[in-house]
């Protein structure tokens, strides 16, 4: 399972509050990703990281920020949560640095509900 954990696994929060989700990996992979999954939309990339302090935006980055101060941790922050950010959030890592393939391994997900 590539040693990926996510925390918390479930969270309910109120509109307007900040929320931080954590992705932790134990195998020193360079590339890490945050996706969200919603019915009818499949998985959509929010942000990704290609190294410590190196991050970039994905398809649906508005309202989200990320940080990666250590190789093993990739944090996703919702600065001011909105109901449209209710979703299941998946972290993923890519195990093929320097190669060109899409073997990504996903964490168990965080179910976030914004009320």
Q: Which stretch binds other proteins (CB under 8 A): 10-18, 55-63, 66-74, 76-84?
A: 55-63
Residue whose CB is less far from other proteins, 14 or 56: 56
Residue whose CB is less far from other proteins, 14 or 59: 59
Q: Is residue 104 close enough to count as binding other proteins by CB under 8 A?
A: yes
Q: Buried b / exposed e across 68-105, counting CB within 10 Å, b at 16+?
A: beeebebbbebeebeeebbbebbbbbbeeeeeeeeebb
Decide the pairing of beta strands 10-13 and 64-70: unpaired
What residues line the site for other proteins (CB under 8 A)? 31, 33, 35, 42-43, 45, 48-50, 56, 58-59, 90, 92, 94, 98-109
């Amino acid at each position: 399972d590539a040693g990926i954990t996510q925390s918390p696994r479930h969270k309910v929060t109120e509109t307007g509050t900040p929320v931080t989700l954590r992705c932790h990996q134990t195998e020193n992979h360079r590339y890490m990703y945050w996706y969200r999954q919603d019915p009818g939309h499949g998985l959509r990339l929010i942000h990704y990281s290609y190294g410590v302090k190196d991050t970039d935006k994905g398809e649906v980055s508005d309202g989200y920020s990320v940080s990666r101060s250590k190789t093993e941790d990739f944090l996703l922050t919702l600065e001011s949560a909105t109901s449209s950010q209710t979703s299941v959030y998946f972290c993923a890592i890519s195990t093929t640095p320097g190669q060109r393939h899409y073997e990504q391994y996903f964490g168990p997900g965080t179910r976030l509900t914004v009320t």
